[in-house]
Structures are given as C-alpha cells and as structure tokens.
Amino acid sequence: MRILVVSDSHERVSLLEQAIAAQPTAKQLFFLGDGTADIETAAALFPTLPIFKVRGNCDFYADAPEEGLETLGGKRFFFTHGHRYAVRLEDAVLAQAAAAHHADIVLYGHTHVPVHRFENGIHYFNPGALRDGRYGVIDLEENGTAFLHMKI
C-alpha cells in the first residue's frame, strides 16, 4: 500500500495537487499541517483519496486536531505537525510521545527539513516542506515491511 505524506504547503495548492497527481497509486494521504486550507481544496479535487490531517502552528483557524493515530497495513502511525513537541530543538519529547502511543511510524513536519531515521524500533519521518517541492512516500508491504522514500 502506497501512502503519500505531505507537510507545510503554505498556500502552494498547485504543488499539493502536483504531488497527489504524481502518486496515482497512493491509497492514503497524511497531511501534517501548515496549509489545512490547501488540503481542503485538494480534497475536493481528489474526493476518493482518504486524507488524515492535523493542523500546524500556522493553521490559526483550522478545526483539524493537533495529532492523530491510525493503523494501516498493521503499522501504528502517530502523526503531528511537531511544533508542540519542540522538534526544531530536539527529538526527545517526540520520542516520548511515540513510545506512549506505541507507534511504529511517527510522521511530523514543522522543520521543513526531510528526515528519516529508525530508532528503538520506530521510524521517524518528516517529508520536508511541500512549499519547497518536497514530500514523502511510504510503501507498506503485505509482510509488514515499510519502505520510506523522500521525493525532492
């Protein structure tokens, strides 16, 4: 199962549309904040694509939650924008939340810097900023293996 991961579109709806169109086999999309109005516009254009979203620090009037949990392909996803977890300074608070939520994969944005690391059995994945043309793709295999890719 292919999963598209985007964050920080910052009013670049056309880039969001391009990312979705470039991944026609994606079965899910995670939007990690700072552009919830953008994801609402894109959702209307791609109504069959399930979207999980959270709000970021620049989504002042959004009604999306600040974090979420989803299980897909046998993997537990914890997703957030990241600003409430001080991800620009360190990863310790985010790691504590990941452990508390029994996450297999943690998705976050906010820093605009792409990251993929595997630590203590948990994948940490930041796709970077879509406004800079960056997004991520996760391929979950039927055997439970996860492949995480950056698209720049």
pLDDT tens track for 6-50: 999 999 999 999 999 999 999 999 999 999 999 999 999 999 999
Tell me, what's the pLDDT at 147?
Answer: 82
Residue 39: strand, helix, or coil:
helix
Tell me, what's the pLDDT at 87?
Answer: 93
Q: Which of 87, 123, 82 lies closest to 105, judged by CA? A: 123
Q: What is the DSSP letter of 132?
A: G
Tell me, what's the pLDDT at 142?
Answer: 82
If one compares 151 and 24, the residue with the highest pLDDT of the two is 24
Tell me, what's the pLDDT at 151?
Answer: 77
Global confidence as pTM: 0.95
CATH superfamily placement of domain 2-151: Metallo-dependent phosphatases (3.60.21.10)
Tell me, what's the pLDDT at 51?
Answer: 97
The whole-angstrom separation of Cα 46 and Cα 88 is: 32
Using a 10 angstrom Cβ sphere, with 0-12 exposed, 13-18 middle and 19 or more buried, the burial of residue 60 is: exposed
Domain boundaries, the chain: 2-151
Tell me, what's the pLDDT at 110?
Answer: 97
Tell me, what's the pLDDT at 43?
Answer: 93
As a whole-number percent, the residues of the chain with pLDDT over 90 amount to 89
The residue behind tokens 């295999």 is 141
Tell me, what's the pLDDT at 152?
Answer: 57
pLDDT tens track for 82-103: 999 999 998 899 999 999 999 9
